[in-house]
Amino acid sequence: MIDLYWTVIPVLLVYYYAAHPLAQFDRWRSKLVIALTWVWSIRLTHNYFRRENWQWGAREDWRFTDMRRQYVDKPLNIWDFVAALVCLCGVVTAYFADTQLHDFVTRNHKLKELGKPMVPNLDRGLWRYSRHPNYFGEQLWWWGLVVFAWSLGHGWTFVGALVNSICLAYVTVLVEQRMLKQEYRADAYRLYQKTTSACVPWFKSSAVAVKDKHT
């Protein structure tokens, strides 16, 4: 599939970026790059068809054939069902968390329009047990895919999910820093941080909350 479309995809991409309403570039440099991309595409497309005796998609590149042989094909087993359950739980968790967040934000917008005090923090539903349940659900999806791969002997794929988790952890820090910069919710969010799990849903730390209120 890569060989069939790789020679034309870059042409589509340069036109997409050139036509984007927020694009900023020198018009003549853009035209020059687009023209050169067309030259590159025509050269590579011509070479592909010449090599394949002017047939399209009739043969697979030998490198991809060799790569495919390296992968193990096993019958469906219990680990596939475990992986599917993890993925499904991730999607469902993220959906409900995002929906609850959307409703919260919408409600606060209406309160602001009416000149009423906004609710400083969302700590209901899934957000009662995790400060970022939507992120947790997203991570479940990716780690579920790792279980699929692991059951086929390709556990090394955990690297991709790990990098994804690290990136999302960084985003989580940025989100929480932004929350603490908003005066109307800073105090409530600090308490929320002390009592609520950062990612994995868990019971609230009521002892910390009580201690914080007394101090």
Q: What is the pLDDT of residues 27-73, one digit of tens each?
A: 899 999 999 999 999 999 999 899 888 888 888 778 878 877 877 87
pLDDT of residue 206: 67
Is 60 exceeded by the pLDDT of residue 197?
yes
Over residues 85-97, the mean pLDDT reads: 97
The whole-angstrom separation of Cα 49 and Cα 31 is 27
Percent of the chain with pLDDT over 90: 73
**Residue finishing a domain among 69, 94, 115:** 69
Do 96 and 182 lie in one domain? The reply is yes
Question: Which of these three, 22, 37, 69, is where a domain ends?
Answer: 69
Where is pLDDT greater, at 211 or 142? 142
User: Are residues 52 and 123 part of one domain?
Assistant: no
Residue 214 pLDDT greater than 60, yes or no: no
pLDDT-derived band at 210, boundaries 50, 70, 90: low
**For the residues 109-120, what does the mean pLDDT come to?**
96
How far apart CA 123 and CA 130 sit, in angstroms, is: 9
From 74-78, 180-184, 202-206, 208-212, the region with the lowest mean pLDDT: 208-212
Using CA atoms, how far apart are residues 168 and 139, in angstroms rounded to an integer?
A: 9
CA angle 67, 70, 75 (to 5 degrees): 125
> 196-205 b/e with 16+ CB inside 10 Å = b?
bbebebeeee
At residue 210, what are phi and psi to the nearest 5 degrees? -65, -45
Residue type at position 120:
P
Q: Please report how many Cα atoms fall inside a 13 Å half-sphere around the Cα of residue 125, on the Cβ side.
A: 17
Residues 93, 46 share a domain: no
Q: Which amino acid is at 8?
A: V
Q: Are residues 201 and 101 in the same domain?
A: yes
Give the structural domain span for 170. 78-214
Question: What's the pLDDT band for 1 if we cut at 50, 70, 90?
Answer: low
- Inform me whether the pLDDT recorded for 175 exceeds 60: yes
* Lookup result for tokens 């692991």: 150
What pLDDT is recorded for position 194? 95
pTM over 0.95: no
